[in-house]
Structures are given as C-alpha cells and as structure tokens.
Amino acid sequence: MKIPVLISSRRLQDKVKQLARQISRDYRHRTPLIICILNGAFVFMADLIRNLTIPAECDFIRLSSYGKTTKSSGRIKVVMDIESSVKGKDIIIIDDIIDTGLTTRFLVNRLKRAKPRSIKICALLDKPARRVVPVKIDYPGFTVPNKFVVGYGIDYREQYRQLKYVGYLSQYRKV
C-alpha cells in the first residue's frame, strides 16, 4: 500500500533540530532525564537526543493503550517500566503523538508521585481533534488533522514504523 505523505522527512528533521535547540537552551545547566514512550517515540527520541548540546539521561517506558486497533481503549497499563529514579530530576517525556491525551495524563500523574523536580512534555505530533483530557505540550512538533498517521516510528499494527516521513492511512479497518 502506498502511504501518502503528510510531513516530509526534511520537515521532520528541521523540527527535531529546532526542538533540540530549544530543549538545550532551557536545560543548559541541568541534566534532564528524558523518558521515551515506547514504541512509537523511539525514532523521534533517537534523532532528538543526537541534536542536543547538553548532557541527558535516557530511559524508556512502554504503555499499552491502543492494543492492535486504531481506537483508544482509554485503559492504560505499564507494560515495561523505567529503571531510573525520578526523585528530584527534571523529566522530559517524549511522545510520538498525543491523541485523546489519556496516555500522557496517566504517565504524568504516575511520575508526579515519584517527586521529580519538574516534568515537561515533548510530542512530535498533536491531534487535538480527539482530545478527551487537556494536555499542555511544552515542546510541540506538528499539529495533525484527525487522520490515522504512520511512519517515523509510528505504526499501524506494527507496520510502517520504518518510513522516513509521516504519512496517513487513507483507509483502514476500524476495530
């Protein structure tokens, strides 16, 4: 299936550099703990951290919300937790796309209980049309329309993560 382009590889790379510059400036005297939400954010995370000019720690968490469908279940589970201690740290959450906002809210609330010094959110894509709970994205990439997007780490049923661009599925089977 041919996947139409929504955001080209060039635009993604420009945005990643811009976000990395902003983060490097804002955290210049700190060493943030950057937490990547797996699996979707791994490509974005990898590009982002290589453009930082400050020291940073990285960790990974895997949450399940969608399962294998394109509809959010609203139930979120920690499938794989971070190993780092969060207490007193400056946390930056790296997400691929914020849709209903339920996953982000769950993670922020969970991390807050571990008493970090600060928590900020960096999300490559924002799909505001489907928001259920408000989320303040401190470092936003692009706003996308209410389409199912794939590529640059983001999947549909584990496919299309390897695309260099962000595209969308013009048709998919709603489950």
> By the criterion CB under 5 A, which residues form the site for Mg ion?
40, 96
30 or 161, CB closer to ligand IMP? 161
Query: Is there a catalytic annotation at residue 138?
Result: no
Q: Which of 81, 99, 126, 155 is catalytic?
A: 99
In this structure, are residues 37 and 107 in contact, taking their beta carbons and an 8 Å threshold? Answer: yes
Cβ neighbours of residue 2 closer than 8 Å, sequence gap 6 or more? none
CB of 175 to ligand IMP, least distance (A): 13
CB of 115 to ligand IMP, least distance (A): 24
In this structure, are residues 105 and 95 in contact, taking their beta carbons and an 8 Å threshold? Answer: no
Under the binding rule (CB under 6 A), the answer on residue 154 touching ligand IMP is yes
Give residues 98-117 in contact with ligand IMP (rule: CB under 6 A). Answer: 98-104
Using CB atoms within 10 A of its CB, is residue 172 exposed (0-12), middle (13-18) or buried (19+)? middle
Under the binding rule (CB under 6 A), the answer on residue 149 touching ligand IMP is yes
How far apart are the C-alpha atoms of 62 and 37, rounded to whole Å? 6
Under the binding rule (CB under 6 A), the answer on residue 124 touching ligand IMP is no
Structure tokens at 47: 């590009």
CB of 131 to ligand IMP, least distance (A): 8
27 or 148, CB closer to ligand IMP? 148
How far apart are the C-alpha atoms of 37 and 95, rounded to whole Å? 6
DSSP H stretches of helix in the chain: 9-26, 42-49, 102-112
- The residues of the shown chain that bind ligand IMP, judged by CB under 6 A, are 40, 65-66, 72, 95-104, 127, 148-150, 154
Catalytic residues: 99
